[in-house]
Amino acid sequence: MWSSRLFWKLFLVYAGLNIASAIVFVLIVSGRQQSQVVEEVQQRLHDSAVIMRSSLDGVFQQGFSERLQEKVRKLGEETGMRLTLIGMDGVVIADSDQETLEMVRLMENHKNRVEVIQAMSTGAGESKRLSPTVSEPMLYYAVLFKEAGEPEGIVRMAMTMAKIQTEISSIQKLIWSIALLVSFTVMLLTYWVVARMIRPLTILTNAAESIAGGDYDQKLYFPQHDELGILAQSFNHMSKEMAERVRQLQASGDRLSTVLEGMVEGVIAINERQHVLFANESAGRLLFFAPDQAQGKALFESVRNHQLQKAVTEVLKTLEPQRMEVELESTSDRILGVTTTPLPGTPCPGLVIVLFDMTELRRLESLRQEFVANVSHELKTPLSSIKAYTETLIRGAMNDPEISQTFLLRIEEQADRLHQLILDLISLASIESGNQIFDIISIELRPFVESCLIDHQKVAEAKNIELQIEEKEPGIKVKADDEGLHQILGNLVNNAIKYTPDQGRITIRWERESAKMVLLQVQDTGIGIEEKYQARLFERFFRVDKARSRELGGTGLGLSIVKHLVQSFNGTIAVTSKMGEGSTFSVRLPKG
């Protein structure tokens, strides 16, 4: 209450009006009372003069007299007034303020006194002036004394202004005391009334500040049924509605934030000055900036890309949505699809930027184009050979048994190659589509590997390549499809034999890598693979040395099939290699 500025404004205004009213009242009453006191004194002087006149028969004919002077002096003491008897010639006969008759005789002539002149002309006179005799301000009243109808003298009554002022002062003190008491009482009442008025407003203000601070559960209870009571009811209804709407907005905002943060696409909202209003984590990851630090700052302080900046400026100018692709130069080149859409409103309050990582899509499109080109090339080569040999035979070579036999063998070889290529394509397509059904069982590796090596023993012996098995722990099993695992291991061993020179060595080892995974490795002492080619080694139709690969009869799909089969078994495959020292293919499969 003491800190309420409105309280002090109202209280001081009412207090000021009260004090001003009291002062005006006192001044008016005091002035009126002063006039009334003067009038009462004048009336008393008049009454006294009239009474004195009635008791002064014959005194003016006697003239100066000790007896008369003594009588007049006593009357003055008894009445508390100054009594003066003045002859028609202005000579003072007796005066109550003089001690002796001699002093009366020495008094100056009063014929020119204002009240005496008025009394002689009208029968009565009054004046207020400084007395030359006693040197004090006096109030005079004089009446004409007549005897037998003839004027004999003047009877004058006087009173000092000091006595009148004393009486007026005592009355004024009383008036001021009453005014102060009433003013103090009114101020206490004003304080109580203003405090009673301000207290609900203070409560309302505190409740409003609490709502502004986020505490919406505010309830006001005023016993009054006036406007303040109605205001309290309206306030309670408003706070309830606001709390519900804020909860809805918070829930909606949380859902929106969760959705935006969970999006793979990057989302950035900027205002008309290109300052960041919002950016999700995906946007920061795609454009390499920290969304929390960028908020409130200019977008291009954090993201320096000329193409993006140009697109944003253009959309803010034309207010037309725009879609484009942006290339980012980073450690790995990245291609982003950017959609910029202006926010609704006039003038435009900003725009939303949606970012799509199109790097993988573009890579897949490139792979698809390359795959089509490779398939076309791989199919064209054996078909061209078959067509050439056939045309040669038709033109007469078939009549030569030796040549025809050679050409027919070449045709059969190319047909087998074409058949194997088609089978690999069908197998790869079936695996990738997920239509191929696998029978996942627990397979013990030792007998399985030995069976696989028997299939490749003759080819290895032809090149004097040693096939070794390293088993660190007996009885290890993996979860896989029997035929699929046979294809995986067969492809890896077959490749190792192809690219390992004579007198080389191929080692198959396995071990328990963790509680859930088993590591199966095929290591050779072959020519090795350059590091720059290792990342693309499992792509379809990718060959490090295309001429050598075709010469060895490869289709370029073996390792790609291996990768997809391993992934189908919930495993992974990797390669480590060093030029001239050989390669190691590591397959990780679930423990059986």
pLDDT digits (tens, 9 = 90+) for 515-567: 889 999 999 988 888 887 777 777 766 666 554 445 444 556 777 878 888 88
* pLDDT value at 58 more than 80: no
Q: In the structure, what pLDDT confidence band is assigned to residue 188 with cuts at 50, 70 and 90?
A: confident
Question: Which tokens sit at 210?
Answer: 């609490």
Residue at token pair 């080692």: 507
Pairing of strands 582-590, 150-160: unpaired
Identify whether 347 is preceded by a cis peptide bond (ω within 30 of 0).
yes
Lowest pLDDT segment from 188-197, 340-349, 369-378: 369-378
The DSSP symbol for 108 reads: P
- Are residues 275 and 298 in contact, defined by beta-carbon separation less than 8 angstroms? yes
- Residue whose C-alpha is closest to residue 504's, from 465, 470, 468: 465
Pairing of strands 266-271, 350-357: antiparallel
Residue at token pair 């080892």: 509
Given strand 92-95, what is the order of strands in its sheet?
Answer: 92-95, 82-87, 150-160, 137-147, 124-130
Strand partners for 339: 323, 354
Handedness of CA 46, 50, 56, 62 (dihedral sign): positive
CA distances, 127 to each of 29, 52, 399, 412, 475 (Å): 24, 19, 177, 162, 146
Percent of the chain with pLDDT over 90: 2
Q: In the structure, what pLDDT confidence band is assigned to residue 473 with cuts at 50, 70 and 90?
A: confident
The DSSP symbol for 537 reads: T
pLDDT at position 547 is: 46
Q: In the structure, what pLDDT confidence band is assigned to residue 332 with cuts at 50, 70 and 90?
A: low
pLDDT at position 540 is: 66
Pairing of strands 440-444, 477-481: antiparallel
Residue at token pair 């009372």: 33
pLDDT at position 552 is: 47
Residues 460-469 pLDDT 10s: 888 898 889 8
195: helix, strand or coil: helix
- Rounded CA-CA distance 34/13 in Å is 31
Residues 152-181 pLDDT 10s: 888 888 887 777 777 777 877 887 888 888
* pLDDT value at 407 more than 70: yes
- Are residues 137 and 129 in contact, defined by beta-carbon separation less than 8 angstroms? yes
Q: In the structure, what pLDDT confidence band is assigned to residue 54 with cuts at 50, 70 and 90?
A: low
Residues 20-49 pLDDT 10s: 887 887 778 777 766 776 777 777 777 777
Helix-helix angle 161-212:227-262, to 10 degrees: 30
- Rounded CA-CA distance 184/417 in Å is 120
Strand partners for 325: 337
Measured in whole angstroms, the distance separating CA 228 from the mean position of its chain's CA atoms is 32
- Are residues 65 and 96 in contact, defined by beta-carbon separation less than 8 angstroms? no
pLDDT at position 183 is: 82
Mean pLDDT to the nearest integer, 487-497: 87
> Cα dihedral angle (210, 212, 216, 222), rounded to 10 degrees?
50
Give 427-431's long-range contacts (Cβ < 8 A, gap of 24+). 427/561, 428/540, 428/557, 428/560, 428/561, 428/564, 431/561, 431/564, 431/565, 431/568
- Residue whose C-alpha is closest to residue 559's, from 543, 580, 581, 579: 543
Higher pLDDT, 4 or 495: 495
- Residue whose C-alpha is closest to residue 49's, from 121, 116, 131, 149: 116
* pLDDT value at 355 more than 80: yes
* pLDDT value at 265 more than 50: yes
Measured in whole angstroms, the distance separating CA 107 from the mean position of its chain's CA atoms is 99
478: helix, strand or coil: strand
Higher pLDDT, 146 or 492: 492
pLDDT at position 429 is: 65
Q: What share of the chain is helix, strand, coil (3-state, %, to 5)?
A: 55, 20, 25
- Rounded CA-CA distance 263/423 in Å is 40
- Are residues 588 and 575 in contact, defined by beta-carbon separation less than 8 angstroms? no
- N-term to C-term CA, the chain: 80
Residues 356-377 pLDDT 10s: 888 777 777 776 666 666 666 6
Percent of the chain with pLDDT over 70: 85
Q: In the structure, what pLDDT confidence band is assigned to residue 436 with cuts at 50, 70 and 90?
A: low
Q: In the structure, what pLDDT confidence band is assigned to residue 3 with cuts at 50, 70 and 90?
A: low
434: helix, strand or coil: coil
- Residue whose C-alpha is closest to residue 19's, from 185, 259, 249, 150: 185
Q: What is the mean pLDDT of the chain?
A: 79
- Which uninterrupted H or E stretch holds 205? helix 161-212
CA distances, 236 to each of 205, 222, 293, 530 (Å): 13, 11, 40, 77
Torsions phi, psi for 229 (to 5 deg): -65, -40
- Which uninterrupted H or E stretch holds 146? strand 137-147
463: helix, strand or coil: coil
* pLDDT value at 131 more than 50: yes
pLDDT at position 396 is: 75
User: Which range scores top for mean pLDDT: 3-17, 57-71, 173-187, 470-484?
Assistant: 470-484
pLDDT at position 548 is: 47
Q: In the structure, what pLDDT confidence band is assigned to residue 302 with cuts at 50, 70 and 90?
A: confident
Residue 77, Cβ density class (10 Å: 0-12 exposed, 13-18 middle, ≥19 buried): exposed
pLDDT at position 349 is: 87
- Which uninterrupted H or E stretch holds 368? helix 359-394
